[in-house]
Amino acid sequence: MGSLYSEYLNPNKVQEHYNYTKETLETQETTSRQVASAFIVILCCAIVVENLLVLIAVARNSKFHSAMYLFLGNLAASDLLAGVAFVANTLLSGSVTLRLTPVQWFAREGSAFITLSASVFSLLAIAIERHVAIAKVKLYGSDKSCRMLLLIGASWLISLVLGGLPILGWNCLGHLEACSTVLPLYAKHYVLCVVTIFSIILLAIVALYVRIYCVVRSSHADVAGPQTLALLKTVTIVLGVFIICWLPAFSILLLDYACPVHSCPILYKAHYFFAFATLNSLLNPVIYTWRSRDLRREVLRPLQCWRPGVGVQGRRRDGTPGHHLLPLRSSSSLERGMHMPTSPTFLEGNTVV
């Protein structure tokens, strides 16, 4: 075991594994590669900004402090960290890869696995919460917030363990024949284990949503109000987008396990599949804000503060009053005056529900 960990700082180990698993080593920084890297970095910066705005909106407005929105905020946090991890992965790829030590390589890839795990467990928590809401099961009790935070904390702890297993010893250092082609320092059995766990969880989530829709369509459909149904459709869309974005990457990893080294050329194009999966973290905030009018208003509020020509308390930059700006009643006051519910509003097509 000591000899295994002594290899973690060996600067030649990464190149040895890439020489074994890859047909060619692309170390040239071509113009097309630089453009692609710059595009991915810009995309990841957009991911970070989008999800940061969602987190700020959930944190600052007490409307969004329910179980459902806390779990959505947790998903936004995992997407934000995924954006950061993808930026690091991009900047440390190409010719830089061969200069990494194994421990640096494990940190680079492990961060992406941790954020992916957190996203999957967040989706599971959301599905459980929706099932509880529809079935009217009293799961949380009086210490609801404490239990939700414990569930969120447990999901991140499990994610850290799953993503950290290779650096703890479940890798293929010293066993080249057991190495993954897509991830040359990861053992094939580890990759298969992680993809299997994610697939089982996603199937369980789909089964939960099928059960929820069966309850809603049954004779007891009155247990769910219009807003609950709209929110259910929102999280179902989030789940569907996750599966669409990540299914190609999961498929390529399963193919990686089944193919002997150098026998499946498509494995050398795996980075395209993972780049497509990155879109999931970009689309999630768009789905939240598209479906929820209240959340969209709260997310856009920081951006409205930067509008040119308008200063604090409705005054223009030149100090003159902004007569077109009238004092706004609070959201809760507007809702009471219009006899509207105080819970966040979701949209169904062009109709407010």
> Could you report the per-residue pLDDT of 245-275, keeping only the tens digit for each?
999 999 999 999 999 988 888 998 888 899 8
Q: Alpha-carbon distance 13 to 20, whole Å?
A: 11
- Cα dihedral sign, 104-106-112-114: negative
- Please report the pLDDT score of residue 353 as a whole number: 34
Instruction: Give the pLDDT confidence score for residue 306 in this predicted structure.
Output: 58
**Whole-angstrom Cα distance, residue 97 to residue 334?**
56
Residue 55 Cα to chain centre, angstroms: 13
DSSP state string for 225-285: -HHHHHHHHHHHHHHHHHHHHHHHHHHHHHHHHHSPTTS-GGGGGHHHHHHHHHHHHHHHH
DSSP assignment of 303-329 equals HHTT-TT--GGGB-TTS-B-TT-PPPP
What the block records as the tokens of 323 is 């007569």
Residue 214: Cβ within 10 Å count: 9
Q: In whole angstroms, what is the distance from residue 172 CA to residue 226 CA? A: 52
Which of the residues in the chain have pLDDT under 70? 1-4, 23-30, 135-144, 219-228, 303-353
Whole-structure pTM value = 0.79
DSSP structural state of residue 351? E
The neighbouring-strand residues paired with 105 are none
Q: Look at residue 324 in the predicted model and tell me its pLDDT.
A: 44
- Please, are residues 247 and 45 in contact by the beta-carbon 8 Å criterion? no
Q: Contact 328/313 with Cβ under 8 angstroms?
A: no
Q: CB–CB of 185/17 below 8 Å? A: yes
For helices 144-168 and 67-91, the axis angle rounded to 10 degrees is 20
Give all domains of the chain, ordered by start, each with its CATH number.
28-306 (1.20.1070.10)
pLDDT of residue 144: 63
Which positions ≥6 away from 43 have C-beta within 8 Å?
Answer: 278, 282
C-alpha distance from residue 311 to each of 56, 151, 223, 304, 306 (Å): 21, 42, 47, 11, 9
